């Protein structure tokens, strides 16, 4: 299975999980929004009858407090969706080592790393990947030493011995995907400020 196919499968599964979480979050947001709108309507009714400066200030304060509560809950919900999607993706990545496609994936990560750092001489990996990496290096005729000193879900680091290194572990790739996951989680719940009042 190609790395792109694996990542696409992970992205599809993550998007499905995010849709489920998003639907739950939207239901919670709708409840919060209805409550906030009800409070707002109540405040507006009192404001209309009282026509009093003090009542106006109280109404504004209540609306602002309700908005703060809604905004805080939206932030928390978005963060929860992101965290759950990130955890699900990490679990899927952690399971890759046990798949039959993992040696091919590790080989692609090695090739990417060597293309980025052609003078890399030391391949750092998790001990669980030592035998597979030795075989990959033999197949490629690469004169690199293998050091099994990483603790990782998979992947490798390649370094030159003079401080230059390429980190191409599954964890670093997941970290690089964080902006897209956060953006996806954020898009699942609308910004209530943009909705008509």
Pairing status of strand 165-169 against strand 155-159: antiparallel
Residue 91 shares a structural domain with residue 126: no
Contact 67, 36 (CB under 8 A): yes
Pick the range with the lowest mean pLDDT from 40-54, 98-112, 128-142.
Answer: 40-54
Q: Is residue 36 part of a domain?
A: yes
pLDDT tens digits, one per residue of 137-188? 999 887 789 999 999 999 999 999 898 999 999 999 999 988 887 887 777 7
Residue 129 shares a structural domain with residue 90: no
Give the predicted TM-score (pTM) of the model.
0.59
Q: Is residue 193 part of a domain?
A: no
Contact 44, 56 (CB under 8 A): no
Range list of β-strands (E), 31-188: 122-126, 145-150, 155-159, 165-169
Closest CA to 145 of 166, 164, 155, 160: 160
Residue 192: per-residue pLDDT: 56
Pick the range with the lowest mean pLDDT from 8-12, 120-124, 128-132, 160-164.
Answer: 8-12
Contact 13, 175 (CB under 8 A): no
Range of the domain at 31: 3-96+177-188
Residue 114: per-residue pLDDT: 93
The pLDDT-based confidence of 197 (bands split at 50, 70, 90) is very low
pLDDT at residue 3 above 70?
Answer: no
Instruction: State both tokens at 140.
Output: 């490629």
The pLDDT-based confidence of 134 (bands split at 50, 70, 90) is very high
- Taking the CA atoms of residue 109, residue 111, residue 116 and residue 119 in that order, the dihedral angle to the nearest 10 degrees is 120
pLDDT tens digits, one per residue of 33-89? 778 788 777 767 766 666 677 778 888 888 888 888 888 888 888 888 888 888 888
120: left (phi over 0), alpha (psi -120 to 50) or beta: beta
Residue 57 shares a structural domain with residue 129: no
Residue 16 shares a structural domain with residue 29: yes
Residue 196: per-residue pLDDT: 46
Residue 86 shares a structural domain with residue 119: no
Q: Is residue 149 part of a domain?
A: yes
Residue 111: per-residue pLDDT: 95
User: What domain count does the chain have?
Assistant: 2
Residue 151 shares a structural domain with residue 89: no
Return d(Cα 83, Cα 174) in angstroms, integer.
12
């Amino acid at each position: 299975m190609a790395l792109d196919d694996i990542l696409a499968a992970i992205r599809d599964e993550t998007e499905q999980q995010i849709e489920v979480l998003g639907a739950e979050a939207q239901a919670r947001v709708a409840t919060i929004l209805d409550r906030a709108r009800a409070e707002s309507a109540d405040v507006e009714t009192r404001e209309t009858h009282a026509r009093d400066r003090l009542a106006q200030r109280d109404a504004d304060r209540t609306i602002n407090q309700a908005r703060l509560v809604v905004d805080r809950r939206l932030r928390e919900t978005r963060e929860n969706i992101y965290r759950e999607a990130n955890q699900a993706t990490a679990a899927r990545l952690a399971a890759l080592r046990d798949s039959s496609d993992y040696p091919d994936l590790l080989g692609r990560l090695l090739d990417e790393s060597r293309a980025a750092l052609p003078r890399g001489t030391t391949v750092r990996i998790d001990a669980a990947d030592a035998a597979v990496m030795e075989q990959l290096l033999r197949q490629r005729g690469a004169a690199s030493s293998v050091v099994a000193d990483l603790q990782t879900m998979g992947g490798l680091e390649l370094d030159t011995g003079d401080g230059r290194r390429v980190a191409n572990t599954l964890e670093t790739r997941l970290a690089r995907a964080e902006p897209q996951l956060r953006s996806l989680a954020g898009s699942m719940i609308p910004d209530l400020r943009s909705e008509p009042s």
